[in-house]
Amino acid sequence: MSNHENKVAFISGANRGIGFETARKLGELGITVIIGARDVAKGKAAANDLISRGIKADAIYYDANDVKSAHDVYDYLDKHYGKLDILVNNAGVNHEQLMGKNNSSSLSKDALQNTFQTNLFSVIEITQRLLPLISKAPAGRIVNLSSILASLTLHSMPNSPIDPAKAFAYNASKTALNVYTVHLAHELRDTNIKVNSAHPGWVKTELGGEHAPMEVADSYKTSVYLATLDENGPSGGFFHETDPLPW
C-alpha cells in the first residue's frame, strides 16, 4: 500500500488541462481526487474518465466567482470524507494578451478586479474555508498555482527571460498570490501543513496558447511534487518542478 492511500485531494478547475492531469497523477498514487468544476457535467465526465482508469474520483460544483460554492465544498468534504489532505488551488483566469503588449497604463478596473477575484480572492476564500478540514489531516498540503510571470526579480532584471510578458492584471494577481503563500506558510509554520506556490511551466492550455513549449500531459509535475511533500519538504516556497524560483 502506498503511503498516500486514504488521502483526499481537492483540485479546483480540474475538469481539464493542468488540473485534470494533476488529478490523474495524484489518483495514480492512490489518492482520492475530488474535482471542483464550474460545469458539473464536465466535472462528472472528467471524474468518470479517472474512475475508468481505476482511480478513486469524485466531482463537485465549485465556481471561484460564487462565494457560496466554497461553503458547499466544505460541507460536502466534511460529510463524505471528514478531512482534506491536499488542496490544489488550480483555477485561474487571464483576460489579457500575455505576450508582446503592455497595457499597464490603460488596463480597466473591471479587468483588474475580475482577474484578482479568481486568481487571488477566491483562493483565499476557499483556503480559509477548507483549513479546518486540512488541519484534521496528518500532513496537510496546500498548493497555489502561480506563474513564473509573478516573479518581480525576473521582470526587473536586465535581459529578463520574461521581458515581453507584461500582462499586468494576471502577473500582479499571481505576485499577490505568492505573498499569500509566504504569509500563510509563516502562520502555519508550527503545524503539519505546508503551503507552496507552483509554476507548472508554460503549457499548451487554453490560457497558455498553442505556442507554449510544454505539453499538457507533463504539466502536473510541480503540483504533484508539492502536494506529496514529506515532512522534511519546504514550505513558503515558489517552485518549478523541484527547483526554487526567485520572488
142-172: per-residue pLDDT in tens? Answer: 999 999 999 999 999 999 888 888 999 999 9
Secondary structure of residue 191 in the 3-state scheme: coil
Residue 3 lies in a domain: no
Residue 155 lies in a domain: yes
Confidence of residue 3 (pLDDT cuts 50, 70, 90): confident
Please check the confidence at residue 1 and state whether its pLDDT lies above 60: no
Confidence of residue 204 (pLDDT cuts 50, 70, 90): very low
Residue 20 lies in a domain: yes
* Beta carbons within 8 Å of 4's beta carbon, 6+ residues apart: 26, 29, 30, 31, 228
CA distance 35 to 105: 38
Residue 164 lies in a domain: yes
Quick one: cell of 111? 479587468
Residue 2 lies in a domain: no
CA distance 166 to 96: 9
Q: Where are the beta strands (DSSP E) in 21-100?
A: 32-37, 57-61, 86-89
Q: Is residue 13 a contact partner of residue 89, using CB atoms and an 8 Å limit?
A: no
Average pLDDT estimate for 234-246: 96
Give the strand pairing for 238-240 and 194-198: parallel
CA distance 26 to 84: 14
Please check the confidence at residue 203 and state whether its pLDDT lies above 50: no
Average pLDDT estimate for 8-36: 96
Other Cβ atoms closer than 10 A to 240: 17
Query: Which amino acid is present at 159?
Result: N
Quick one: cell of 126? 476557499
The domain that holds 222 is classified in CATH as 3.40.50.720
Position 96 scores a pLDDT of 85
Position 98 scores a pLDDT of 79
Residue 67 lies in a domain: yes
Please give the residue range of the domain that contains residue 103.
8-244
Position 216 scores a pLDDT of 61
Q: Is residue 222 a contact partner of residue 240, using CB atoms and an 8 Å limit?
A: yes
Residue 183 lies in a domain: yes
Quick one: cell of 137? 489531516
- Indicate the number of domains in the chain: 1
DSSP 149: G
Confidence of residue 2 (pLDDT cuts 50, 70, 90): low
pLDDT digits (tens, 9 = 90+) for 69-116: 999 999 999 999 999 999 999 999 988 887 878 999 999 999 999 999
Position 210 scores a pLDDT of 56
3-state helix, strand and coil shares in percent for the chain, rounded to the nearest 5: 40, 15, 45
pLDDT digits (tens, 9 = 90+) for 29-76: 999 999 999 999 999 999 999 999 999 999 999 999 998 999 999 999
DSSP 75: H
Please check the confidence at residue 231 and state whether its pLDDT lies above 60: yes
* Beta carbons within 8 Å of 96's beta carbon, 6+ residues apart: 103, 107, 111, 115, 167, 168, 169, 170
Residue 1 lies in a domain: no
DSSP H or E segment with residue 49: helix 40-52
Query: Closest by alpha carbon to 91, among 69, 113, 62?
Result: 62
| Mean pLDDT score across all residues of the chain | 92
